[in-house]
Amino acid sequence: MRILTVCLGNICRSPYAACVLAQDGGAAVRARSAGLIDMWVGMPAHPNMIAVAADRGYDLSAHRAVQVRPGLMEWADVVLAMDRAVLTELRRLTDKATAHKLALFLDDRDVLDPYGGDDEAFTACAATIEEGAPRHLP
């Protein structure tokens, strides 16, 4: 299974979600992440997210932000938006071949963006992602 997670900048939520899905899914899952905007392309994950990930047994140290592009959406079996605003924008970027792949990471709510928040915001974000990840694993 190939999963693409997408958030705004690809430095907090989507890289952590992809890491959790890949690690917890084992050999059955390949996960990548991307962001809608190009502001942080090539940059590592947010330092607070790297620290929270490490505390929780995940390694984001090699992550570098990328912007979502058609080839990534074509690669994926499913494209998971981290919030409704991202999902709305992804719908504008898709074509008939990829539109059916789009879904919200959490079926009924957004994963709140911790960017600009304190350590507790990053920890809460990580916990929410870990809680939602099993629904996407085989």
Annotation says 30 is catalytic: no
> Which one of 3.40.50.2300, 1.10.1330.10, 1.20.1250.20, 1.20.1530.20 gives the CATH number of domain 2-136?
3.40.50.2300
Catalytic annotation, pick one of 12, 32, 113, 125: 113
Annotation says 19 is catalytic: no
Q: Which two tokens stand for residue 127?
A: 């916990």
**What are the pLDDT digits (tens) for 38-91?**
999 999 999 999 999 999 999 999 999 999 999 999 999 999 999 999 999 999
**What are the pLDDT digits (tens) for 43-53?**
999 999 999 99
pTM above 0.85, yes or no: yes
Catalytic annotation, pick one of 13, 19, 83, 125: 13
Annotation says 13 is catalytic: yes
Sheet holding 2-7, edge to edge: 30-35, 2-7, 78-81, 102-104
